[in-house]
Structure 1
Amino acid sequence: MSERMNTTEIFDGIRFPGFMHTLESLKAACAFQFQDTDILLVTFPKSGTTWMQQVLSLIFCKGHLWPIHHLPNWARMPWIEQTSFSSLLPKLNSSWPRLLTSHLCAKVLAPALMKSKAKVVYMARNPKDAVVSFYHFHRIAGFLPDPGSFEDFVDEFLQGTGFFGSWFDHVKGWLGLQNDLNLLFVTYEELHQEPRRTIQKLCEFLGHSLRPEEEDVILEHCSFSFMSQSSMVNYSLVSKEIIDQSQGKFLRKGVVGDWREHFTPELDEKFKAVYQSKMGDSGLLLPWTMD
């Protein structure tokens, strides 16, 4: 696979890292036959994907923590658009619903989803924090290009020309389907501020009841301190060629509002103006302010 480290796939006008995506794997995802019992986590990158994979795994493992300690999160909840999916899918735990993950936009993936009653958990994060996290990830991921200056990276993010496309289109596309899909919208911020309440909200949506002591086990094992130490979650199992954590940690801070450490006042004004022009009339109730 290393020969694909620096390749890019373009699918439906969006750039994907060729290291883990091929046109075949991307097309296969859009033709995937979802089962009614499937649970699909959808995110734009760096919006809390790894965290929610951990939470959903914990909800279904009912306190039996073997998978949490022995299976990496990408094996518990594989990405349907990645080349590894066809080998990981048959190995999923048959006593759970199939837990799946995707970064694809609604336009390409929703048609396949609408043929089933599969449940979608859509997780989003304040885009200012998401862009900071994505910038740092570009610096350590061998399969992504060097991000250049932070200002240039933010410009690319605002234009939607970077890898995985436009954050704005992604959020609007998926949240615009709330009446058409069995979809729950969760934010990074609410999981951070009210973890127990958010876990209860997820369980209600998934039709899965937990006792308070089971919630306690989840809270303990989805904490930043636990996840950052766990090789099943912190991506320390992958080679330095793929993610070089000597340059920075995959699980970096796990905080809300880190963008304030990175944005100049000028960059902030520019970001707010673009955000307002793209999201101002979306009619979506998003729980963050741009201040």
Structure 2
Amino acid sequence: MTEKTFVEEIEKALEKSKGLNLKELLFCYQGTFYPTTVCSAETFQALENFEARKDDLVLVSYPKCGINWLIQIVNDLIVTTLQTKNENAELPFIECGDPEKFQRMKQFPSPRIVATHLNYNHLPKSIIKNKVKMLVLFRNPKDTAASFFHFHNNAPSVPSYNSWEEFFSEFMNGNVAWGSYFDHAVAWNKHIDEENVLLLTYEDLKEDLLAGVKQIAEFFGFAPTAEQSQSIVDRASFQMVRERSKETHGAAGPLLFRKGVVGDWKNLFSETQNQKMDVKFKECLAGTKLEAKLKYDVYCKA
């Protein structure tokens, strides 16, 4: 994707947030909240007719779970193994942008990176029908909530919450951009075993990025050499990504790639909030494959 245009798109969205309050930032479409700065009902209607290609590379995550990191890794895989520059000058999230973007996307060469924060149930029908490969990234809910809160309160133009308590309550009720983390998790968990779905966790990528890059490459049918895989890993280290973030994501870069650590939630959560989320997580995901993958007891117990 042309970095300049991509940066311009991000900066346009941040510009649009200026002076808005939280109520004006979010609008409801089919029962889920989305940010008015990058999404619109018209784009969602146009998205229903989006024509997915069988060789699209669909990347999915709930907000603040590491998808921008994933986009860079997959983009690097394309550039490294296919020797082509990915010149797609659009916001990679299909639900973001103007309704005409899908016409423009028809001109993009394959393989296209198609990123989304959408719940499985809200995906365009053609992705499901064509059994397009989907790489789904999850992050433990406590770090996700903490990261989401910091994004709101650190991005100068994005409306802030009065307090962590206020944000936590909205997050638990799903009244945040892209809706409920838990609804998202429950919906994706139902499709975890489908052969065109690979579910990875942010924590596993942090733990062993080389193993993650190899899994991603194999899933999407890339065959990087050992040397290429290692150089992709070196470029995708959080330090490197953060250093280049102003170049790749403009003013939003350092906000999108803030700390990249596991366990930062411990600086925010109260004992009561911990218990609330533990209960909610169990209600939604106890005994599921996703629960096992997220290693909740390892990453979310104080």
Q: TM-score range by the shorter chain?
A: 0.7 to 0.9
1:90-109 to structure 2, matched below 5 A, reads 92=108, 94=109, 96-109=110-123
State the partner residue of 1:29: 47
Deviations 1:254-283 (Å, cap 9, x if unpaired)? Answer: 111111122122221222122112222545
**Residue 261 (1) aligns with residue 234 (2):** no
Residues 255 and 88 of structure 1, relative CA distance in 2, 3 Å threshold: farther
Conserved in 1, the CA contact under 8 Å of 2:56 and 2:111? yes
Q: Report the identity percentage.
A: 27
Q: Tell me if the contact between 2:60 and 2:116 (Cα under 8 Å) persists in the aligned partners.
A: yes
Q: Match of 1:156?
A: 170
Change (3 A) 1:215 1:232: farther
Q: How does 1:167-186 map to 2 (within 5 A)?
A: 167-179=181-193, 182-186=196-200
Residue segments in structure 1 that go unaligned for 5+ positions in a row? none
TM-score (norm 1): 0.85
TM-score (norm 2): 0.82
CA distance in 1, matches of 2:43, 2:148: 23
Within the candidate set 212, 218, 243, 1:229 is matched to 243
Aligned equivalent of 1:50, options 68, 83, 86: 68
Counterpart for residue 210 of structure 2: 196
Residue type matched to 2:119 in 1?
Answer: C
Residue of structure 1 equivalent to 2:295: 288
Distance 1:253 1:65, change over 3 A: farther
> Paired residues, what number?
277
Give the conservation status (yes or no) of the 8 Å contact 1:172–1:282.
no
Q: String of CA shifts for 1:32-76, please: whole Å, max 9, x gaps.
A: 1111011110110000011100111111111688959xx7xx847
Contact kept? 2:138, 2:294, Cα under 8 Å: no
* Partner SS for 1:286: helix
Which of 278, 282, 286 is 2:284 aligned to? Answer: 278
Amino acid at match of 1:147: Y
- Cα distance in 1, alignment partners of residues 184 and 278 from structure 2: 18
CA shift for structure 1 position 288? 2.2
> Are 1:89 and 2:105 matched, yes or no?
yes
Paired with 2:49 and 2:162, the residues of 1 have a C-alpha distance of 36
Instruction: Check whether the contact 1:39–1:98 (CA below 8 A) recurs between aligned residues.
Output: yes
1:116 aligned residue (130, 136, 141): 130
Q: CA 1:91 to 1:135, structure 2 compared with 1: closer, same or farther past 3 Å? A: farther
Identify if the C-alpha distance between structure 1 residues 159 and 224 changes in structure 2 by more than 3 Å, giving closer, same or farther.
same
Give SS of 2:272's match.
helix
Deviation per CA, 1:53-112, whole angstroms, max 9, x where unpaired? 0111111111688959xx7xx8477111111544862564x2x41111011111121633
Deviations 1:157-213 (A, max 9, x none): 111122210101112212212355611101101110011111111111111111011
Q: Which of 31, 46, 56 does residue 13 from structure 1 map onto?
A: 31
Within 2, Cα distance between the matches of 1:12 and 1:143? 27
Cα pair 1:78 1:88 within 8 Å, conserved:
no
| Matches of 1:201 and 1:207, distance apart in 2 | 10
Whether contact under 8 Å (2:245, 2:257) holds in the other structure is no
Q: Provide the C-alpha distance between the structure 1 equivalents of 2:213 and 2:90, rounded to a whole number of angstroms.
A: 18
| Alpha-carbon distance change, 181 to 23 in structure 1, aligned in 2, over 3 angstroms | farther
What runs of 5+ residues in structure 2 fail to find an aligned partner? 1-11
Amino acid paired to 2:114 = L
In the alignment, does 2:225 pair up with 1:207? no
Conserved 8 A contact 2:60-2:117: yes
Native 8 Å contact 1:76 1:99 kept in 2: no
